[in-house]
Amino acid sequence: MKNIVIAAGYATRLYPLTENFPKPLLKVGDRTILDRLLDDVDALDEVDEHIVVTNHRFASIFEKWTQERNGKPIRIIDDGTSTNDTRLGAVRDLLLALTGNPDGSAADGNHSGSPVSRVQSPLITDDILVLAADNILDFSLKGFVDFFHEKQTSVIMCHHEPELKKLQRTGVITIDENGRVLDMQEKPEVPASHWAVPPFYLYSKKDLPLICDSMNHGCGFDAPGNLAHYLVGVTTLHAWEMPGIRFDIGSLDSYEEAQKRFSR
């Protein structure tokens, strides 16, 4: 199993802290945000490598960080972008890690000489854990991986969110009594349930061809939830309820709150 960390954003809401420095490597207490996440993943027997996708501006900073970290092997992928306006988006960054191409496909010739799209074979052929790099969890991901083995399908996380405004800013799913995902909405005006989806996913290797082909079928590319939303319609997904709290560091206020909460 590969752990793919999406860390190519520019975190403009945390300027000036992140104007020239990646948000995942900001320290909360005595450890960086990303170290806190990877320390837990390192304890998972299934994972044999971390793949961190970042942008060109921060790639060298991440490379230096890997030299200072002990743990499982880490590979840094530079997505080539240098500004927030030219960012690829989370789904394209994932496809870049999987296929070497941010669209997951390649141009191929036909008899008329016009290029047509064909699916690129994935360079990675293992199950993949996909994590957003800017979250701190107070629970282990081991239960998530165990649930994946139990269901034998791709799985996503969910948590009960009572606030309407928060539901309107995230992915929302409906599930059956066995945890199978029936539908997923992206930032719905009228949410179908109170099950919100955080940016943590475990995709089965059997679904990798569908992921690589997703951009050819109109899958959104900016947010990681766009891919889960697409996959619900073409394969089977189950949802695992988070047993604890996730802290999303998205602003200066939330970063200060994380310092207070996790530095104790």
pLDDT in tens, 209-264: 999 999 999 998 888 889 999 999 999 999 999 999 899 898 999 999 989 888 76
Q: Where are the domains of the chain?
A: 2-262
The model's confidence at residue 80, banded by pLDDT at 50, 70 and 90, is: very high
Does 117 score more than 60 pLDDT?
no
Distances (CA, A) of 18 to 57, 58, 79, 126, 140: 11, 10, 18, 33, 27
| Average per-residue pLDDT for the chain | 90
pLDDT value of residue 239? 97
The closest of 87, 25, 35, 27 to 56, measured between CA atoms, is 87
| Domain 2-262, classified CATH 3.90.550.10, yes or no | yes
Query: What is the spatial distance between Cα 184 and Cα 230, in angstroms, rounded to a whole number?
Result: 9
pLDDT value of residue 109? 39
pLDDT tens profile 151-209? 999 999 999 999 999 999 899 999 999 999 999 998 899 999 999 999 999 999 999 99
Rounded to two decimals, what is the model's pTM?
A: 0.90
The model's confidence at residue 118, banded by pLDDT at 50, 70 and 90, is: low
Q: Is 40 helix (H, G, I), strand (E, B) or coil?
A: helix
Task: Tell me whether the omega of the peptide bond preceding residue 209 falls within 30 degrees of 0, making it cis.
Answer: no
The sign one gets for the Cα dihedral 142, 48, 227, 23 is positive
pLDDT value of residue 122? 64
